[in-house]
Amino acid sequence: MAATQSRTDAFEREPVALTERITSDGSSHWPAEPGRYRLVVARACPWANRSVIVRRLLGLEPVLSMGIAGPLHDERSWRFHNDPDNRDPVLGIEYLREAYEKAHPGFDAGVTVPTVVEIASGKAVTNNFQCLTLDFSTQWRAYHREGAPDLYPEQHRAEIDEINEAVYDDVNNGVYKAGFAKGQGSYEKAYRALFTRLDRLSERLATRRYLVGDTITEADVRLWTTLVRFDAVYHGHFKCNRQKLAEMPVLWAYARDLFQTPGFGDTIDFEQIKQHYYGVHAEINPTGIVPLGPDPRGWLTAHGREELGGRPFGDGTPPGPPPEAERVPAIA
């Protein structure tokens, strides 16, 4: 997901350019159809990470292939620099922008991940990251694996939506508001909103294993993709340094619980995360030096959250191992 700066000293995120949705009911130009699309992501990006997790949990790998951009990019957009010949092996493109320009010649807005690309035409279809994972749950239901969890249960949707809105404003986007602020006042406002929200979430999670109900939902996915990056990049790089995640006992245990749940930690590459943030944001880190720490082995320690009960996948089952080509390095 791209970061942009407003004319004031406060950070404002640029709206997504391609708001199309892929649906099963004919309400859009793009039907949910096996083999038609490729999901383009980057391991570094928290917004893309949501789609990777939900795709895994629901078992959509056989029907929706995934291209993985490398952690580095420039003004030309995300690049497939970890693939052979620096090109996506299915789409044949070097830069994700090429798919946007095929769809919209002369395209001059933000090129972001996740993006869904139609394979046959090579055209970018949508980068609507806020709706994409919800559509995986609701519009791609016919292609879910047997035992797939319900991540957006109808009876809890209002509560999930309310939590998601607050988490987006203060946490997911809040770390960026702090990190890219151009003035002390804007930074302090974002910093205070972030930690106030984290304190409230900690209170909520002190007595319950998951944010809504007794199973993993979309709300957990969205919060977790920020938490898992917190100590590695947001604490130092974005100056969100009241505490490390590892110093917030409830949230640290909650995050470790999910990290050790199939479909979460097995999507994370800490090295690519650090390479992206410290290597691309030259205005914040002009030297481009990538820190060696923190030690990721803490993510594998016992968390004790089982005592709160809950059923991670509800009446469903865990996903199997990720496909070989999509595996991330194990924590040594």
Q: Which residues are annotated as a binding site for glutathione?
A: 78
Determine whether 45 is an active site residue.
yes
Distance CA 200, CA 252 (A): 14
Spell 119-129 as b/e; 16+ CB within 10 A means b: eeebebbbbbb
SS3 85: helix
Determine whether 131 is an active site residue.
no
Selecting among 45, 100, 152, 277, the annotated active-site residue is 45
Distance CA 190, CA 46 (A): 18
Which tokens belong to 247? 């110093």
| 269: Cβ contacts below 8 Å, ≥ 6 apart | 43, 44, 328, 329
Selecting among 176, 191, 277, 278, the annotated active-site residue is 176
Name the burial class of residue 277, with classes exposed (0-12), middle (13-18) and buried (19+) by CB atoms within 10 angstroms of its CB. Answer: buried
CB 63 within 8 A of CB 35: yes
Amino acid at the residue 95 = Y
- Closest by Cα among 40, 38, 42, 101 to 72: 42
Query: At CA 213, angle to CA 206 and CA 145, rounded to 5?
Result: 125
β partners of residue 31: 23
SS3 329: coil
Distance CA 228, CA 251 (A): 10
SS3 135: helix
Report the binding-site residues: 78
Distance CA 24, CA 136 (A): 10
Catalytic residues: 45, 176
